[in-house]
Every structure is written in structure tokens, then in C-alpha cells.
Amino acid sequence: MSLLAGRVAIVTGASKGVGREISEQFAQQGASVVCAARSADLVKETAGRIQAAGGKAIAVVCDAAREEDVKAMMAAALQAFGKVDVLVNNAGDGGPTKPVQEYTTEDWFYTINSCLTSSYMCIRFAVPEMIKAGRGAIVNVSSMAGRRGLAYRIGYCSAKAGQVGMAYGLALELGPKNIRINVIAPGAVEGDRIDSVIAGQAKVRGLSEADVRRAMTERSPLKRFVKADDIASLAVFLCSDFAKNISGQLIAVNAGEPV
């Protein structure tokens, strides 16, 4: 059974990591995928991997926080596949790791725009197409940092919490239009992003990277980080008919880590 057969899905931040895994799993489940990201070479690689495996995908170079880029992305999706009925807001930069008194206005707006404004912008232009399609499923990829916080990451925590509040409000607004929106809150996901976070935390706290990694791992009952495919599998479910009555929910994928 193909869980997403007939769907056209836009995945932002599709150049690597969680976004690439979501794009590939969506294609494996029958969706036509618009892979969007700022890095031209990497996002083309994602689409190429899908095509080589027999799936349908296009690559779009897009800064999801820029209105003109998002408009162009939507136009490309419609030209290639004729509709849009799934959106995954995965784009976002973690921003700097530094004390609040050193966190500049430029740091703040860069991180908020990258993680939160990008989600708003994509939803704003995707919703009219979902209304035309008669259905829609949106997933915001947030973070546990938006639930329990993370020291020295004020911009990132604020933006990720904002994605949750956005989803709660939009679930009420868009439900009557048969459009669902949910949030995935990953814990520490194996890969380059968490390695960078660990390095930043070690530097600002005066600890070794090994000590920071150990503390993060020990925080979860399962004593491990999660993987990108764990996030992708949940995204597939939330965008499928199996989740047709799930909206306005936040689901953590974090190896059992308490909030």
C-alpha cells in the first residue's frame, strides 16, 4: 500500500538530513515531491536520488523566508504536478549559541526568519492551493527546544515554540476547510546538526564535547539519539489518511525524553 499515492508534497529544507529523508520516504509512498532548499547542488541531489529510485520529484532552489522565492516554488510545483496538498515546513537554521546579552538583533531576526517566518510564508501560499485540492496536510518540524528550552539558544527556542503556537491556531482556522496541521518535535537527531549544537554547547559551557553528548544521551530513557528516518516515518503517517482525524497535535520523537 502506498500511503501517499496521488499527493503532491512540498518539503522545505530538503537538501540533507531530516528533510532529505522525508522527501525520500514521501516518494517511496507514492507522493510527487517538490524538494526545496537554499543549496542548489544538495537539493538537486535529493531530487536526483528520488528520480533514480523511480520516484517523482523536482528540485527548487528556495529561501523559504523570502516571499518571492516561495511564490516561485509554488509556481514550479503547480507547473510540474498541477496541485499542492501536502506541506512539510522543515527549513530552518539553528542560529548561534551564545548568552542572551551577546545575542545580537541580527542573530535574532536571522533565526526567527529562518525557522518561523519560513513556515508562515509557505503556509500562506500553500493554503489556497490546498483549498482548491479539497484537502491538505501540513507538518511543522519543530524541536524539543521549543518545548523545554535549551540554554544559549534563545532565538531557536523562540522560533520552534512559535511553530507550535502557529499550528494550534491554524488547526482551528483551517479544519473546516479539510486542512490538517500537526507538529513533530524531534529530540537530538543523529547527524551534522546535532554535532554542531554539541560543539556550540561545549564551547559556551566550558565542557568537552564528549561530556555534552553524554549528558544529552543520558537524558532520554532509551539512552540514544533518534534518527532522521524516525522523523520521516511520522511525517508520512501524519500526512496520510491514517491520520485523517489528527490535527492540532504536537508529537515528540525523542527516545522518551521527558519535557
Distances (CA, A) of 80 to 34, 103, 177, 214: 9, 42, 25, 46
Strand partners, 180: 137
Cα–Cα distance between 67 and 41 in angstroms, integer?
22
156 catalytic per annotation: yes
Q: Which of 103, 120, 156, 168 is catalytic?
A: 156
Cell for 140?
Answer: 511543522
Cα–Cα dist 82/139, whole Å: 21
Compute CA distances 232 → 25, 34, 175, 199, whole Å: 7, 15, 23, 25
The residues that are catalytic are 156
